């Protein structure tokens, strides 16, 4: 390019860590442009800091391959290269290069920037290739530093059947479009005017060589990858660009963008669970997409999309033999797993998702959207129907299994011979308490509609003989006698007046020397915000009339009802446990 266009340039690798969230961008070319811009900005700032002068122009580029909506960059290993090339085999795909041109100048010691960008798309069609040919190409080593796993300018050219568009774009840089863009930006009639003048403020060869040495230690996508432009501004409108200093440019809000599109990942997970994808792969994996599609009665194309999304989310693993469950899915997403969150996912998909779509109305009107779907858990007699109640029970059971051991072992409970778990649902905590305390008899006291469905949740083992279930409403009926009462994940569901009513009933039933064990996700005392934890989404989003409290508030509540000795145990970021006892006579 230097000899053709009269440009004097230095190649300076960028150290920008290319981990932008692809889901945060509407189109593949916007992702390529933003990546290119961030790389170019990194180089511009480093040159300015190193040489104390601004380079005239920094050019960044980033090339990606896309097929069926999936962005393919460089393969991480040979297996990844095989996945990419297999996906391209016999199909047409797009090659996008995002190019950014940053005009730099120094003003008052500050680096000032004007940013332009464009992208080029070329359509490439692969021939139908044999497995042997694909692996022969992979073993050549060429795919490992190429976007999409191939280089058209070298051995990879044998994979290509046809091309529509700029060949050099596929090779890594759209030279023709770039030259036109430079002439447009700098209002020059031809390439001759692009030569640097004697006043050039660009980096010296010494500076650039030094930066090249620094860049070799950091991430570098190579010549086919580049810095992205500013998608918010139309290309070719240099005079309308706002000048930014290097210090005033805001950081790229990757976390915020992931939050904005996070619902898409949730819905993909919900859909995979609803279609029993993880159950299908439990015993027969690995399976190809066509086999999974047949088993879940879905299209091969749609199933392939869903499976690849699950791979990207870390829920599935993929090899040349097919798809299989990741360790995460095996542990938590099988419908019959010991620590399955399948029920909690079903609750959110079938009920909470629809309820939260009405959140704007709830905020404007001050009323709670669909109270059953977002709130009263199993404490309401009005909970609609056995199927809905069973869905809630599965959700609570899955969450309780993850926290039961922390609650059961937070304190030494050996001095108690009997316990009553109020609102204990399926008995997940009760069984863990029995396992840890062989001499403890535990009664689970919950609504009749709950206790009649608990059979399918019961584990095997001797501790089952220590646990019994009694139907009743703890706001209306007499509480079973016990040395220790338990309220796990209950108090946050209710406003203060109901909490005082419940604690008064517990205090009246608790014998002198008896105790009350409370487990909740407590607010941070300084910020009054919930600490990070597994149950935060349930506590902060699913209640409608209750609320989370700090540990000092729970201490005051318990002391107000005659529990003088109050001990607190923090069990990490999952749940907090309070043990309070009535004074002995």
| pLDDT digit string, tens, across residues 58-102 | 899 999 999 887 888 888 888 888 988 999 999 999 999 999 998
Asked if the model's pLDDT at residue 228 lies above 70, the reply is no
Question: How sure is the predictor about 460, in pLDDT bands with cuts at 50, 70 and 90?
Answer: low
Asked if the model's pLDDT at residue 205 lies above 50, the reply is no
pTM over the 0.85 mark: no
| Residue recorded with tokens 């005239």 | 56
Q: Which residue has the higher pLDDT, 213 or 40?
A: 40
Question: How sure is the predictor about 274, in pLDDT bands with cuts at 50, 70 and 90?
Answer: very high
Asked if the model's pLDDT at residue 118 lies above 90, the reply is yes
Question: What mean pLDDT do residues 272-299 have?
Answer: 92
Q: Which of 241-250, 322-331, 387-396, 505-514 has the lowest mean pLDDT?
A: 241-250
- CA triple 84-326-341, angle to 5 deg: 135
Element (H, E) at 421: strand 418-422
Six-digit token string for 329:
């899915």
**Predicted pLDDT of residue 582:** 85
What are the C-alpha distances in Å from 499 to residues 128, 475, 493, 544, 548?
69, 10, 9, 14, 12
Question: How sure is the predictor about 320, in pLDDT bands with cuts at 50, 70 and 90?
Answer: confident
* 279 classed as catalytic: no
**Distance between CA atoms of 331 and 325, rounded to whole angstroms?**
9
What are the C-alpha distances in Å from 85 to residues 31, 133, 285?
21, 11, 22
- CA triple 207-210-211, angle to 5 deg: 90
Q: Which of 340-344, 362-366, 405-409 has the lowest mean pLDDT?
A: 362-366
- CA triple 358-537-403, angle to 5 deg: 150
**Predicted pLDDT of residue 491:** 80
Express each pLDDT in 507-557 by its tens digit: 889 888 889 998 887 655 444 444 443 344 444 444 445 456 667 777 888
**Predicted pLDDT of residue 18:** 76
Percent of the chain residues topping a pLDDT of 70: 76
What structural domains and CATH numbers belong to the chain?
2-231 (3.90.950.10), 261-337 (1.10.10.10), 386-581 (3.40.50.150)
**Distance between CA atoms of 202 and 53, rounded to whole angstroms?**
7
Question: How sure is the predictor about 325, in pLDDT bands with cuts at 50, 70 and 90?
Answer: very high
Side by side, which strands form the sheet with 484-488? 467-471, 441-446, 418-422, 484-488, 515-520, 576-581, 565-570
**Distance between CA atoms of 292 and 298, rounded to whole angstroms?**
8
Per-residue DSSP letter, 562: T
Question: How sure is the predictor about 462, in pLDDT bands with cuts at 50, 70 and 90?
Answer: low
Q: Which residue has the higher pLDDT, 192 or 306?
A: 306
Residues whose CB falls within 8 Å of the CB of residue 219, separated by 6 or more in sequence, listed in order:
14, 15, 16, 17, 18
Residues whose CB falls within 8 Å of the CB of residue 334, separated by 6 or more in sequence, listed in order:
278, 279, 282, 325, 340, 342
Q: Which residue has the higher pLDDT, 338 or 570?
A: 338
Q: Which of 199-208, 356-365, 504-513, 556-565 has the lowest mean pLDDT?
A: 199-208
| Residue recorded with tokens 């870390």 | 314
Asked if the model's pLDDT at residue 296 lies above 60, the reply is yes
**Predicted pLDDT of residue 194:** 40
| Active-site residue (options: 62, 80, 230, 349) | 62
| Residue recorded with tokens 């690849």 | 308
Peptide bond into 286 cis (omega under 30): yes
């Amino acid at each position: 390019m230097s000899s053709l266009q009269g440009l004097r340039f230095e190649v300076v690798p960028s150290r920008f860590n290319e981990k932008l969230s692809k889901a945060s961008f509407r189109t593949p070319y916007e992702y390529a442009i933003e990546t290119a811009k961030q790389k170019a900005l990194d180089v511009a700032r480093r040159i300015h800091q190193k040489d104390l002068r601004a380079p005239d122009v920094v050019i960044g580029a980033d090339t990606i391959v896309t097929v069926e909506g999936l962005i393919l960059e460089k393969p991480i290993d040979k297996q990844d290269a095989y996945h990419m090339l297999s996906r391209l085999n016999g199909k047409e795909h797009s090659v996008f290069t995002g190019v950014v041109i940053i005009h730099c100048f120094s003003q008052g010691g500050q680096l000032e920037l004007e940013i332009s960008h464009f992208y080029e798309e070329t359509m490439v069609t692969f021939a139908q290739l044999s497995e042997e040919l694909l692996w022969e190409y992979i073993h050549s080593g060429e795919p490992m530093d190429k976007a999409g796993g191939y280089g058209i300018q070298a051995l990879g050219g044998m994979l290509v059947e046809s091309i529509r568009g700029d060949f050099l774009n596929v090779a890594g840089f759209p030279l023709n479009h770039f030259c036109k863009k430079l002439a447009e930006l700098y209002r020059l009639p031809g390439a001759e005017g692009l030569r640097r003048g004697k006043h050039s403020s660009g980096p010296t060869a010494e500076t650039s060589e030094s930066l090249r040495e620094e860049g070799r230690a950091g991430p570098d996508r190579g010549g086919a990858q580049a810095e992205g432009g500013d998608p918010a501004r139309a290309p070719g409108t240099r005079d309308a660009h706002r000048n930014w200093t290097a210090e005033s440019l805001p950081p790229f809000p990757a976390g915020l963008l992931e939050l904005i599109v996070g619902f898409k990942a949730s819905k993909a997970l919900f859909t995979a669970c609803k279609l029993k994808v993880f159950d299908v792969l439990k015993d027969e994996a690995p399976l190809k997409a066509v086999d999974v599609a047949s088993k879940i009665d879905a299209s091969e194309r749609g199933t392939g999309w869903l499976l690849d999304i699950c791979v990207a989310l870390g829920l599935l693993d993929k090899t040349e033999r097919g798809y299989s469950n990741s360790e995460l899915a095996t542990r938590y997403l099988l419908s019959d797993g010991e620590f399955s969150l399948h029920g909690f996912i079903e609750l959110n998909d079938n009920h909470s998702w629809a309820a939260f779509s009405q959140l704007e109305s709830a905020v404007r009107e001050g009323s709670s959207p669909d109270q059953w779907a977002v709130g009263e858990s199993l404490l309401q007699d009005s909970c609609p129907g056995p199927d809905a109640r069973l869905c809630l029970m599965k959700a609570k059971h899955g969450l309780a299994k993850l926290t039961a051991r922390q609650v059961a072992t937070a304190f030494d409970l050996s001095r108690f011979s009997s316990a009553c778990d109020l609102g204990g649902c399926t008995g997940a905590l009760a069984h863990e308490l029995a396992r840890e305390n062989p001499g403890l008899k535990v009664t689970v006291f919950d609504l009749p509609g709950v206790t009649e469905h608990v059979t399918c949740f019961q584990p095997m083992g001797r501790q089952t003989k220590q646990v019994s279930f009694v139907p009743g409403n703890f706001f209306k009926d007499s509480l079973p006698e016990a040395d220790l009462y338990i309220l796990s994940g209950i108090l946050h569901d209710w406003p203060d007046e109901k909490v005082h009513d419940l604690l008064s009933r517990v205090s009246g039933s608790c014998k002198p020397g008896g105790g009350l064990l409370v487990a909740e996700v407590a607010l941070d005392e300084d910020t009054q915000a919930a600490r990070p934890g597994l149950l935060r989404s349930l506590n902060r989003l699913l209640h409608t009339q209750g609320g989370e409290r700090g540990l000092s508030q729970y201490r005051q509540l318990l002391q107000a009802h005659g529990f003088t000795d109050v001990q607190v145990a923090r069990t990490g970021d999952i749940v907090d446990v309070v043990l309070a006892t009535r004074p002995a006579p």
